[in-house]
Amino acid sequence: MFGPVQDVRIPYQQKRMFGFVTFMLSETVKAILAKGNPHFVCDSRVLVKPYKEKGKIPDKSINQSVIPSKIPQISKLLVGSGEGGM
């Protein structure tokens, strides 16, 4: 058990087995990623990696010297079997 979960999304796709887990605390994701791969869920091997939202264009108006503590922390993981292009 790592920490409280905020949301779980499992898209329906027959060939790709993956899902998204959003945790309440970004520290939970850091701990999970620090353990490395693979992880096991119900005796099944799964791989985890940080979730990166596709299609978002970075806001170039944001000053690049932003204080690191003000940068949003990752609280969402992509979880999958590692098969089918995860």
DSSP letter, residue 56: P
Q: Report pLDDT for 12.
A: 82
Give bridge partners of residue 39 from the DSSP assignment.
Answer: 46
Question: Would you list the domain boundaries of the chain?
Answer: 5-54+68-73
N-terminal to C-terminal alpha carbon distance within the chain: 23
Amino acid sitting at position 21:
V
In single-letter form, the type of residue at position 4 comes to P
CB-side exposure of 65: number of CA atoms within 13 Å?
0
Answer yes or no: are the C-beta atoms of 48 and 79 closer than 8 Å: yes
pLDDT at 72 over 70: no
Amino acid at 39: H
**For 31-49, how does the pLDDT look when each residue is reduced to its tens digit (9 = 90+)?**
999 999 998 888 888 899 9
Average pLDDT in the 58-73 region?
Answer: 47
